[in-house]
Structure 1
């Protein structure tokens, strides 16, 4: 039995091979398998397996009518060919493009309506261009920007309306600049400040109304400020102060 006869008997009956330009050559050379790796299937898994095996074919599907086929093709096609898909009407396609497009073209996608697209942009955009996303309406985008901004620009997010963004800023500001967040309305932010504060600021935070902020400040405050904490209403703070004083006396 010839290879074509075997292919017809074993796979043609599934219907997907009928009229396919890759049949029977790709099937016989194990470059596709109906039900497992097939460009004509309406299955992302099968499409991906086909294009993973045959990446040179990906560019042929960048304008396909099926959004998932376009999105998967964009993963494998040459970067130079996926630029037009920045404006694709499907956000999944644009997410793939944002994750692969050359950096010098990425800024054009910074105002994409889809959050995940902008997250990809924020995670890849050159530092010099990150400031364009500081006012993004989505706090997750701004938090991503805060994780990557140069230290000299972090102060611009110290008053961000979202607590999670300010927490990121507190983890990255140089210790000498943490005073900008020492009076933050959220104790979670102040606790991050206390963990990293220089001695003078840490001493001030020992008076914080929230016990976990005071606890975080214990390890950085000067020893002479710890004695009053031995009477703190919170046992964890008393124990932390006592342990640090004992360690200092033993040294």
Structure 2
């Protein structure tokens, strides 16, 4: 069965005609090949192979009507021609140009209308250049900021509306902020904070509503502090506490286990 990728068609869906191509002389020289390395083809990989073999031609295609052709050509064209592509209507072209330019050209793209461009920009900037992006409307952009920003900038994201952003902040923020993050409404954020707290500070989370946080507490605080968790509602927490303390008795709260037989009453 023939698929689209088996065909040689241009960006408008027409069959490619090598005889009408302005670079037809390259065919005999091995500079291009139908269905493999062709500047007329609509597939980016075939365009990429063409410009890899013919870099000197890339400048001619920065104004091509097909966005994929412009984007791939931008990866090989003369750098001095690329700044104008930062205004290209297609986000793929804008990023393809930006990634080859000095950092100062990236800064205006922090406000690019397309999230993919802003995500990519955030992934290469650092420190103060990232500060404006801490308030980006897209949660994933802010997650990238939380992963790359210096700890000194992370307080800007402590109250971020997205729990994934706050989790990343809890993993990296300065220890003086962990107590505040330990009060977060999301259990996974509190858990990330708990994992970084000293045993002494961790004790404040012994009554946390999330069993994972209590398990973290039970695994690291001093054993003499664990009596409050002997009757924890979660079996994994109880098991850990008893293994650490050596306690093997029944629950201190008094209820009998369903498998425990009642004591025999004396006969009358």
Structure 2 gap ranges (5+): 1-14, 247-268
Higher relative helix content = 1
Shift of 1:79: 3.4
Matched, 1:129 2:129: yes
The 8 Å contact of residues 130 and 145 in structure 2, kept in 1 or not, is answered as: yes
The 8 Å contact of residues 223 and 245 in structure 1, kept in 2 or not, is answered as: yes
Shift of 1:179: 0.9
Matched, 1:105 2:105: yes
Matched, 1:73 2:73: yes
Structure 1 gap ranges (5+): 1-13, 247-251
Shift of 1:245: 4.0
Matched, 1:90 2:121: no
Q: Report the TM-score when normalising by structure 2.
A: 0.81
Aligned residues: 232
Matches within 5 A, 1:46-195: 46-195=46-195
Q: Name which one, 1 or 2, has greater alpha-carbon Rg.
A: 2
The 8 Å contact of residues 32 and 38 in structure 1, kept in 2 or not, is answered as: yes
1:22 corresponds to: 23
Shift of 1:15: 5.3
The 8 Å contact of residues 215 and 237 in structure 2, kept in 1 or not, is answered as: yes
The 8 Å contact of residues 202 and 218 in structure 1, kept in 2 or not, is answered as: no
2:12 corresponds to: none
The whole-number CA distance in structure 2 between the counterparts of 1:236 and 1:15 is 66
The 8 Å contact of residues 206 and 214 in structure 1, kept in 2 or not, is answered as: yes
The 8 Å contact of residues 191 and 213 in structure 1, kept in 2 or not, is answered as: yes
1:5 corresponds to: none
The 8 Å contact of residues 202 and 217 in structure 2, kept in 1 or not, is answered as: yes
Shift of 1:216: 2.3
The whole-number CA distance in structure 2 between the counterparts of 1:163 and 1:234 is 24
The whole-number CA distance in structure 2 between the counterparts of 1:242 and 1:76 is 65
66-75 or 211-220, which deviates more: 211-220
The 8 Å contact of residues 85 and 97 in structure 2, kept in 1 or not, is answered as: yes
Deviation per residue, 1:70-113 (Å, 9 max, x gap): 01111222433222111100122123234333212110111001
The 1:136–1:92 alpha-carbon spacing in structure 2 relative to 1, beyond 3 Å, is same
1:237 corresponds to: 237
The 1:75–1:218 alpha-carbon spacing in structure 2 relative to 1, beyond 3 Å, is farther
